[in-house]
Amino acid sequence: KPQLVASNDRFCRFLEEYCPVVTETYYPTIWCWEGRVQTLLRPFITSRPQVQYRNELIKTADGGQISLDWFDNNDSSYYPDPSTRPTVLLLPGLTGTSKESYILHMIHQSETLGYRYCCFSLLFILLLLTPRTYCAANTEDLEAVIHHVHSLYPSAPFMAAGVSMGGMLLLNYLGKTGRHTPLMAAAIFSAGWNVFESVESLEKPLNWLLFNYYLTTCLQSSISRHRQMLEKLFDMDLVMKARTVREFDKQFTSVMFGYRSIDDYYEDASPCRKLKSVGIPVLCLNSVDDVFSPAHAIPVETAKQNANVALVLTSCGGHIGFLEGIWPRKCTYMDRVFKQFVQAMFEHGNKIFSM
């Protein structure tokens, strides 16, 4: 059974009644139960449901450009009025887009519930208009997206869900804004709570070989197309020689956002430092065998100090894995947690503090 950590008894009772999956025994796929295996196989095993997006480009204050992929769900029979149709903002991981299987499954799982979805990818995939990319601690672009979505549908219930780096960014935003956000609740999956511990884990030899080097090359590839613009500000030769995420962040990300050192950036980017300030209901799912977020770095004691926070910790599942069943092509445990929690908040969220 997962471990449910929450200081608020009413929040616990709410989850037990309206999101019972968090109290059910999770049975990982028996032939790939180990965390790294789950992490590696999920993208290849799980299916990719068909989702038709509508793309929107919005301008940022610094002249940059953000790409949003919308699934409007205009055929919704539960919410035929677009102005009041519940909306979920999705934030995929560091190198993820709206085409990731876990994003597609999130939408597919709750499409019949009638909700609308907007996906904001952290990794720029269009022409870079300004020498500025992502940063786990800088929430300006996320704030702009949240304000934009809310301004389009001010009468619609509004939630957000973040996965991995997307979850870290969302937590940092929530820690910064407290209760002053149009979001009514949020779901976080496989977030790295302490960046120092995450990069140390990923630099262990086997983890470096399986994950770290690949992520680093993905990041280098994402900026290599814009080298002519970026080399005016960065030593791009050093950036392209990086062999770990830490080296890349030291030469590129921390410099781009004006940090004095990589340690200053990682301290600012770690959501565990801001968890006490979260002011809306947040459900966070982590597996204790996730090499991207080691078990000892999950802020269990800090979560117990905030009545708005609930942690769900499984013993298996890896990083964005949570595969279950003999042949886990479709629904994962993470998908079920997402669906039940989103539905619980949209349909019964007003009961949290009255139970």
**Cα gap 166→123, rounded to integer Å:** 10
**Cα gap 93→270, rounded to integer Å:** 15
The CB density around residue 92, as the number of other CB atoms within 10 Å, is 26
**Cα gap 19→338, rounded to integer Å:** 9
**Any residues with CB less than 8 A from the CB of 295 and at least 6 apart, and which?**
288, 289, 313
H helices then E strands: how many in the chain? Answer: 15, 9
Residue type for position 150: H
φ and ψ of 5, to 5 deg: -110, 115
DSSP state letters, 153-169? -TTS-EEEEEETHHHHH
Q: How far is CA 304 from CA 12, 267, 270, 300, 325, in A?
A: 12, 21, 18, 6, 32
Strands 116-120 and 65-71: antiparallel
The CB density around residue 316, as the number of other CB atoms within 10 Å, is 22
**Strands laid side by side in the 54-59 sheet:** 3-6, 309-314, 282-287, 185-189, 158-163, 87-91, 116-120, 65-71, 54-59
Q: Which residues are catalytic?
A: 164, 290, 319
**Cα gap 100→286, rounded to integer Å:** 19
Q: How far is CA 206 from CA 209, 212, 301, in A?
A: 5, 9, 30
